[in-house]
């Protein structure tokens, strides 16, 4: 059958058999909610849950569950999956299909599925998923992650004095942002400060915020806690709501620090939108910029200045793994450079406080 052939018309509700995996893209959903599935001809939307099985192992041979455990998968593995959009230059671009296909692509290890539009030539084809039906309640209503929100601020208006926000951005995905954010969490918590940490854009994955938690931040959160399996193609209002809600929930104490990572690079759609928002810009206490190499860092500095009128307080990322790259940067710019893999506590205090 063709890749995007339409699934069977609506039929009888069936019970979900025991033994399924519940992935982290469905973080807001409890296992006890997964009881029924049903075929339907309704068009999927982001956040819809489906019950399916693996039909071919491709790029992703594993699934991450909502506790962060990594499960190896095989042909025939049955799991819950979540429709969503993905932007990942190192992997795939994918979107929610216009109609429910019989089979679709696994876009991320977190259980995010959709129609792959393009892929990095350096990676294999995506793992394939056969859709058996939508996860639904007894009445046949489809369960959608965006109907659930675990982040409930007690206040609705931000006070003037707030936790100091350390914002981490970079040239691209895998430029070292999460490691840099974790280094900040380690440094600040080691200095005795209370640190919260959030990742506000990207694709569902617990790895990054768990890394920040291991480095001393608590609690750590991301957009999946608000029911979003990813943030690709959200509008400005939705992006700002994610930022403001997490800010109101976790950054009210002016004695604390709030470490925030924005996914992908500064040219990416949602990243650029956030960096232009007054509500985000006025919250910046320190801006850290990450790059994969020294030339990329210098180009990124220019882009930050010319497109966003922003000047970072420090450079870090993959490029700082190399003493030679650090030497190149220090010779070409006056912005402080620090190693995120071997952070120096004294240097971090000078940059972050």
| Each residue's pLDDT tens digit, 144-158 | 999 999 999 999 999
Contact 168, 315 (CB under 8 A): no
Look at residue 154 and tell me if it is in a domain: no
The pLDDT score that the predictor gives to residue 11 is 58
Pair 241, 329 in one domain:
yes
Pair 74, 202 in one domain:
no
Pair 201, 122 in one domain:
no
Dump pLDDT digits (tens) for 314-334.
999 999 999 999 999 999 999
- Partners of 51 in the β-ladder: 80, 133
pLDDT of 8 strictly over 60? no
Torsion angle of alpha carbons 228, 199, 127, 116, nearest 10°? 70
Pair 126, 183 in one domain:
no
Look at residue 150 and tell me if it is in a domain: no
Query: How many domains are contained in the chain?
Result: 2
Look at residue 9 and tell me if it is in a domain: no
Look at residue 275 and tell me if it is in a domain: yes
For position 199, which CATH number holds? 3.40.50.300
Pair 134, 255 in one domain:
no
Tokens 């939307």 found at? 45
Cα radius of gyration rounded to whole Å, the chain: 21
- Phi, psi at residue 311, to the nearest 5°? -125, 115
**Which residues constitute the domain of residue 66?**
14-145
Contacts of 252 (CB under 8 A, 6+ apart): 155, 158, 159, 162, 163
Confidence of residue 12 (pLDDT cuts 50, 70, 90): confident
Look at residue 280 and tell me if it is in a domain: yes
Counted residue by residue, the chain has a size of 353
Mean pLDDT of 19-28: 98
Q: CB 345: neighbour CB atoms within 10 A?
A: 12
């Amino acid at each position: 059958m063709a890749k995007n052939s339409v699934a069977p018309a609506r039929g009888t509700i069936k019970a979900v058999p025991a033994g399924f995996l519940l992935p982290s893209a469905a973080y807001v959903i409890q296992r006890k909610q997964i009881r029924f599935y049903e075929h339907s001809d309704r068009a999927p939307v982001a956040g819809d849950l489906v019950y399916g099985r693996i039909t071919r192992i491709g790029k992703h041979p594993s699934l991450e569950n909502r506790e962060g455990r990594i499960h190896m998968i095989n042909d025939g593995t049955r799991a819950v999956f979540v429709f969503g959009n993905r932007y990942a230059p190192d992997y795939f671009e994918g979107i929610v299909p216009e109609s429910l296909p019989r089979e679709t692509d696994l876009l991320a290890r977190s259980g995010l599925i959709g129609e792959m539009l393009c892929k990095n030539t350096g990676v294999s084809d995506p793992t394939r998923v056969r859709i058996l039906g939508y996860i639904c309640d007894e009445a046949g209503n489809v369960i959608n992650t965006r109907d659930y929100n675990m982040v409930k601020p007690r206040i609705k208006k931000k006070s003037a004095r707030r936790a100091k926000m350390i914002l981490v951005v970079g040239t691209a995905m895998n430029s070292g942002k999460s490691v840099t954010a974790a280094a900040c969490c380690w440094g600040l918590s080691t200095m005795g400060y209370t640190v919260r940490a959030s990742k506000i854009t990207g694709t569902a994955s617990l790895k990054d915020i768990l890394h920040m938690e291991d480095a001393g931040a608590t609690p750590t959160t991301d957009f999946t806690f608000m029911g979003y399996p990813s943030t690709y193609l959200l509008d400005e209002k939705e992006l700002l709501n994610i930022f403001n809600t997490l800010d109101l929930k976790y950054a009210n104490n002016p004695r604390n620090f709030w470490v925030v990572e924005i996914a992908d690079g500064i040219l990416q759609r949602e990243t650029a939108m956030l960096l232009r928002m007054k509500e985000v810009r006025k919250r910046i206490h320190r801006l850290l910029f990450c790059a994969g190499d020294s030339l990329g860092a210098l180009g990124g500095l220019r882009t930050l200045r010319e497109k966003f009128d922003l000047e970072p307080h420090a450079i870090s990322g993959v490029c700082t793994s190399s003493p030679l790259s650090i030497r190149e940067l220090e010779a070409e710019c006056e912005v402080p450079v620090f190693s995120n893999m071997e952070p120096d506590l004294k240097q971090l205090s000078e940059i972050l406080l």
